[in-house]
Chains A and B, each alone.
Chain A
Amino acid sequence: MTLPTAPQDVAPATTRAAARPTTSPYRLSAVRLIRAEFLKLFTLRSTWWSLAITLLLTVGMAVLIGAASEGRIDPVTAAVLPIQFTMLLAGILGAIAVSGEYSTGMIRSTLTAEPRRGAVLASKSLAVAVTVFVATLVTFVLAAVLVAATTGAAIAWDDPEASVLPLLAAATSMAVFALLGVGFGFALRGGAAAIASTVGVLFVLPIVMQIVGAVATAWTWVGDLARFLPMNAAQSFILPGGAIDQGPAALTLAAWVAALLVAGWLVLRSRDA
């Protein structure tokens, strides 16, 4: 391979500098920062892989569940059930959106472009949440439609509480899981630690508490507390009739996001990059 040679003269830079007015039109803004964070997500293969696998898993499992139930299951319910697994993909996508910047050194470029660290955290969180929300909403709708088509069961589109709202809540929950990953990413920085913590809170903790609750029957508080874990709260939030009401479930999810993003922000603002 022959290395390209940088031109010796620097005329473009020179003329630009001379012609430039004292107030440069280039400056930071919230919209630009958010656009840059979207661009970051879309220019990495890992994002597309995570979203594609989420789609395939969701559609595949939903259609399987529909077929196994011989059409007795509601297509929307079948579409949102795979969240139990795909939540990990959302959480990991959020975690590596941050830890990938630390492991590669990109974070130094990011923080020199925008030294106000809270703005970096906010714009990244927004970009990750919106991306995951939109991609998984499409995924869930597609899965529900395919289940309906393969089982012959109808989706109750005229009843939002049985169709539109659960699908929206499911996509929102996926965005919440991704944000937990973002929070862990900023708080822990390392990819392994951030992913392990995200998987731990989303997947391992519910199982542990379920086992403890089943064995230590005297400790009823374990079961009470387990209802407020992200995955369990999301289940209550998506479909009515869960362990807690939908309002408290939504608040619980919001509190998890707030807690982890604040933890991430506290680390980000005080530590050297």
Chain B
Amino acid sequence: MPEYDLRPMPRIPRVRSVEGMITAEGLTKRYGDKTAVEGATFTVQTGKVTGFLGPNGAGKSTTMRMIVGLDAPTAGTVAIDGRPYRSFHAPLTEVGALLDAKAVHTGRSARDHLRVMAATHGIPRSRVDEVIELAGLTSVARKRAGKFSLGMGQRLGIASALLGDPHTLILDEPVNGLDPEGVRWVRGFVRALADEGRTVLLSSHLMSEMSLTADHVIVLGRGRVLADAPIDRLVQDWTQRGVTIASPRLSELAALLQGPEVTVTPSPDGSARVVGLGAPAIGDIAAAHGIALHALTETTGSLEDAYMALTADAVEYTSKELS
């Protein structure tokens, strides 16, 4: 007798329809003869946290402002789900934007600022209180925004962005000025929102932060898109894998490993970094010659290494070495 599985069918989780995807095509912005963004073409996917990386002046903020229609592109288009921002009838429920901490009237309290924003869309007061609590602003909600610290201003900006419970979040340097707790909080909610299927685009100068938060990165340099890839692929493609070795007979071993494709670079701490040979090969060579190994560690590059390699030519404001 055949066995029937009488348990109810597993509920298929309802997948949100594709919403909030940002597409830029040939996006260009010039101010006089200065080009801020040049032919940027990219897609910010839903359900992912996309990091926007680039040196100062690379065009990140300008691009973000163009997405929400504050700046008009000189050429090209940018749309959310194929529609320009200006066509939305409920923009705050489509896109939540934190562009910079300075988008709040300094004479108005945090709560009044959020009430004003909410009033434009008929968002109820309960939601205003909710985002105040969510952003940890309860104790300062009645204080005038002009007296806020940078971190508090950021929290207010984030509260403002979350007000309409938007499908897409655009956050320009959201962790700037936040305390470690705040940084963790941003990382947490950004992750949670992406996991719900929303689109998150955030810029940050903090590479370690970005590698913890983002799934995908778009690297801008001098207004152009230098890379648009998942974070691990970017690291793989733009950094060198190497092996760190240590041995009491290091110079002897180094001579054995050296070859046309292999470089051995000694480190000040007495170890050496080998590029071009895998750990097993190094181990085998050492064993064959009876050389003891004290360390044999595969090292991959970081997002920062990849970013540096990518933007080496694009850094406009290279820091001057202090002599």
By a beta-carbon cutoff of 8 Å, the part of chain A in contact with chain B is 3-10, 12-14, 16-18, 20, 24-29, 32-33, 35-36, 39-40, 43-46, 100-101, 104-106, 108-109, 111-116, 270, 272-273
Chain B residues in 8 Å Cβ range of A108: 65, 70, 99-100, 103
User: Bound state CA distance, A28 and B91, in angstroms?
Assistant: 8
Which of A20, A44, A115: most chain B Cβ within 10 A?
A: A115
B93 contacts A26, C-beta separation under 8 Å: yes
B181 contacts A6, C-beta separation under 8 Å: yes
Which of B95, B121, B179: most chain A Cβ within 10 A?
A: B121
Q: A18: nearest residue on chain B (CB-CB)?
A: B196
Q: Given contacts A7-B134, A113-B91, is CB(A272)–CB(B164) below 8 Å?
A: no
**B102 at the binding interface (Cβ < 8 Å):** yes
Chain B residues in 8 Å Cβ range of A114: 91, 120
By a beta-carbon cutoff of 8 Å, the part of chain B in contact with chain A is 65, 68-72, 85-86, 88-93, 95, 97, 99-100, 102-109, 112-113, 115-117, 119-123, 130, 133-140, 146, 151-152, 155, 160, 162, 164-165, 179, 181-182, 184-185, 188-189, 192-193, 196, 198
Q: Residue B117 contacts which of A9, A27, A105, A109 (CB distance < 8 angstroms)? A: A109
Q: B138: nearest residue on chain A (CB-CB)?
A: A4
B90 contacts A6, C-beta separation under 8 Å: no
User: Bound state CA distance, A114 and B116, in angstroms?
Assistant: 12
Chain B residues in 8 Å Cβ range of A7: 133-134, 136, 185
User: Bound state CA distance, A115 and B318, in angstroms?
Assistant: 37
A116 contacts B86, C-beta separation under 8 Å: yes
Q: Given contacts A17-B165, A100-B107, is CB(A35)–CB(B119) below 8 Å?
A: yes
Q: B184: nearest residue on chain A (CB-CB)?
A: A8
A6 contacts B105, C-beta separation under 8 Å: no
User: Bound state CA distance, A13 and B188, in angstroms?
Assistant: 12
Chain A residues in 8 Å Cβ range of B134: 6-7, 10, 12-13
A25 contacts B122, C-beta separation under 8 Å: yes
Interface CB pairs A-B, < 8 A, 9: A13-B134, A18-B196, A29-B122, A108-B99, A112-B68, A113-B91, A113-B117, A115-B85, A273-B70
Q: Given contacts A7-B134, A17-B196, A28-B89, is CB(A43)–CB(B106) below 8 Å?
A: no
A10 contacts B122, C-beta separation under 8 Å: no
Q: A10-B188, A29-B122 are in contact. List 7 more A-B contacts (CB 8 A).
A: A3-B151, A8-B188, A13-B165, A17-B196, A32-B121, A46-B107, A112-B97
A27 contacts B70, C-beta separation under 8 Å: no
User: Bound state CA distance, A29 and B91, in angstroms?
Assistant: 12
Q: A111: nearest residue on chain B (CB-CB)?
A: B70
A104 contacts B133, C-beta separation under 8 Å: no
A13 contacts B71, C-beta separation under 8 Å: no
Chain B residues in 8 Å Cβ range of A45: 107
B140 contacts A4, C-beta separation under 8 Å: yes
Chain B residues in 8 Å Cβ range of A105: 100, 102-104
Q: Given contacts A14-B192, A32-B122, is CB(A115)–CB(B89) below 8 Å?
A: no
Q: Given contacts A16-B165, A39-B119, is CB(A101)–CB(B90) below 8 Å?
A: no
User: Bound state CA distance, A105 and B120, in angstroms?
Assistant: 18
